[in-house]
């Protein structure tokens, strides 16, 4: 076997090992990311709509967002659970809930990929006023 062919075979073997160790589909995957949309200000007692925008590359029965949660002042107010056979509708999706605000509130949202974890928490503060 000449030197060129031996180098080619080594490169081919290394590429095959890399593909097995890190399949291309997983290489394109990422952590679940969440952003929040809600008003900055609200009247005391108002029911406000909170929208969570969830992004996650990869949405199949092996790799998916397995939960998304929303907290208001450290108390969980909404949680969405997903599984291999009850996955999110797509890689990018939105979730909505409402909250009646009585005082200024700090919102925290987070989502989790079953394989790669979370991209971090999203924060939003709603200032409550009387007029």
Per-residue DSSP letter, 1: -
Q: What is the pTM of this model?
A: 0.77
Instruction: Indicate the helix (H) or strand (E) that contains 25.
Output: helix 24-27
pLDDT tens readout for residues 42-69: 999 999 999 999 999 988 889 999 999 9
SS3 28: coil
pLDDT tens readout for residues 84-129: 999 999 999 999 999 999 999 999 999 999 999 999 999 999 999 9
**pLDDT value of residue 14:** 60
Round to the nearest angstrom and report the end-to-end CA distance of the chain.
Answer: 85
The dihedral built from the CA positions of residue 45, 98, 40 and 82, taken in this order, carries a sign that is positive
The CATH number of the domain covering residues in 31-129: 2.60.40.730
């Amino acid at each position: 076997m000449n030197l060129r062919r031996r180098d080619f075979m080594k490169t081919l073997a290394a590429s095959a090992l890399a593909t097995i160790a890190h399949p291309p589909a997983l290489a394109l995957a990422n952590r679940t990311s969440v952003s929040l949309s809600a008003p900055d200000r609200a009247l005391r007692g108002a029911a406000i709509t909170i929208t969570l925008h969830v992004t996650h590359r990869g949405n199949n029965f092996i790799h998916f967002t397995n939960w998304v949660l929303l907290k208001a002042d450290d108390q969980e107010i909404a949680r969405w659970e997903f599984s291999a056979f009850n996955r999110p509708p797509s890689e990018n999706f939105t979730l909505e809930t409402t909250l009646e605000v009585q005082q200024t509130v700090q919102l925290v949202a987070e989502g989790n990929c079953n394989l790669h974890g979370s991209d971090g928490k999203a924060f939003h503060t709603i200032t409550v006023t009387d007029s």
